[in-house]
Amino acid sequence: MDFSLSETQQLIQDTARRFAQTQLQPNAAALADPQNRPQFLDNIKALAELGFMGLEIHEDHGGTQAGTVAFSLAMTEIAKGCASTAVTMSVTNMVASVIQAVGSDEQKQNYLPRLCSGEYRAGAFCLTESQAGSDPSAMKCQANKTEKGWQISGSKLYITSGAYADVLIVWAVTDKTAKPGKGISCFVVEANRQGISIGKEENKMGQSGSATNEVIFENVVVTEGDLLGEVNQGFKIAVGELAGGRIGIASLALGIAQSAHDYAIEYAKERQQFGQSIADFQGIQWMLAEAETKLNATRLLVLEAAHRKEQGQEFATQASMAKLFASEEGNRICYNALQILGGAGYLKDYPLEQKVRDIRITSIYEGTSEIQKLIIARNLLAQARA
């Protein structure tokens, strides 16, 4: 297997790394403060201008058309600098991918160039509800048929970029008599549509620079032209796109963990105890060696999933394995990095405590670790029975 990067992939990785090192990493603490949202959104706009909001989108619709591997590489580099910026980038790319995958020609022409260019500040993925998290088929948000289309009523929770997303992908029940998951449709809706309101911003443990809000729909009128894909087939769209989104979150977790590990190495080299650098102690060396091994294993899992998606191969199981391993081991790597810093790691003067908070959610959103295990096991057993 050839692990070398193409010229385009290398260019995108290098560009993302420079942006993270110059624009994000020096300002990570400030970007985590919601009061600095204008600076945060300026960075999102700058990433769009670099082509990072449509990395998998065809160039005919304003995208970079660089592929899933390039997207993963860029996500990892951006996450090293700021996890909040990375998750906004991930979700916006995912929204664009939904429209490209199932949208009509008119929808692609209307929405994709504005997402890719940054004219739309961000996109939002409106799926989760209070009683429909790991089981989206249990959603209650409804789209009732009218003469000209539908009226959407209900609310969505924990919506990334809810406060400033300009276009929303919304799932709603369009056939109340159908079995769970069989009567759900998907719509693309601009956020300024009458009847859409944004709830309070959640006060989160980590990734607080990225807004997370409730989005409320009160008799929001949508037309036939706003339907994404076929009526009552929206659940399949959600399942398919969540698999792709897991590659993004796995890449994000890899980036946070790698940056924590890199910082711990530099600290261990400089920190003196008992008359020598703590990097000379076997206990620290073993912690660093284990982290390095897990990071390389994570990178291989993520790249395999990204490569399979890019090649049009089945990738759902690989995406779940990558997200499971990246998020769980990433959490351990960040905690170990904090442990190497000792008491200093617990202080906000050092970046480790923020990285520990930022990475915690990666084992929850885009499907919890428990859900990933369920997906992997079901697919494994299905193959065994075939």
H or E element that contains 272: strand 272-273
Phi, psi dihedrals of residue 118, rounded to the nearest 5°? 95, 0
Residue 135 burial (CB count, 10 A): 12
Question: What are the domain boundaries of the chain?
Answer: 7-121, 124-232, 242-385
Q: Pick the catalytic residue: 7, 77, 366, 370?
A: 366
Pick the CATH number of 124-232 from 2.40.110.10, 3.40.50.1000, 1.10.3720.10, 2.102.10.10: 2.40.110.10
Do 206 and 359 touch, CB atoms closer than 8 A?
yes
Give the C-alpha separation, 120 to 101, whole Å: 19
Q: CB count, 10 Å around CB of 84?
A: 25
pLDDT in tens, 52-101: 999 999 999 999 999 999 999 999 999 999 999 999 999 999 999 999 99
C-alpha distances (whole Å) from 186 to each of 126, 234, 239, 317 are: 10, 5, 12, 24
Assigned token pair, 168: 């929303």
Q: Which CATH number fits domain 242-385: 1.20.1280.290, 3.30.70.260, 1.20.140.10, 2.60.370.10?
A: 1.20.140.10
CA neighbours closer than 13 Å in the CB half-sphere of residue 121: 19
Assess contact for 92 and 53: CB atoms under 8 A.
yes
The model's pTM: 0.96
Residues of the chain with pLDDT under 70: 1
User: What's the helix, strand, coil split of the chain in %, to 5?
Assistant: 60, 15, 25
Quote the CA–CA distance of 215 and 129 in Å, as a whole number: 10
Write down the pLDDT at residue 241: 87
CA distance linking residue 169 with residue 186, whole number of Å: 7
Report phi then psi at 125, rounded to 5: -110, 95
- Encoded tokens for 94: 């995912």
- For residues 76 and 86, give the distance between their C-alpha atoms in angstroms, rounded to a whole number: 8
pLDDT tens digits, one per residue of 26-42:
999 999 999 999 999 99
pLDDT at 181 (0 to 100): 86
The yes-or-no answer on residue 366 being catalytic is yes
Report the relative pairing of strands 167-173 and 123-126 from DSSP bridges.
parallel
Structure-token match 């985590």, residue found: 32
CA–CA dist 235, 241 (Å, integer):
10
Whole-number pLDDT of residue 148: 84
Q: Does domain 7-121 have CATH number 3.50.7.10?
A: no
Quote the CA–CA distance of 12 and 66 in Å, as a whole number: 9
By the 8 A CB rule, do 177 and 168 touch?
A: no
Helices of type H across 20-82: 28-31, 37-49, 68-81
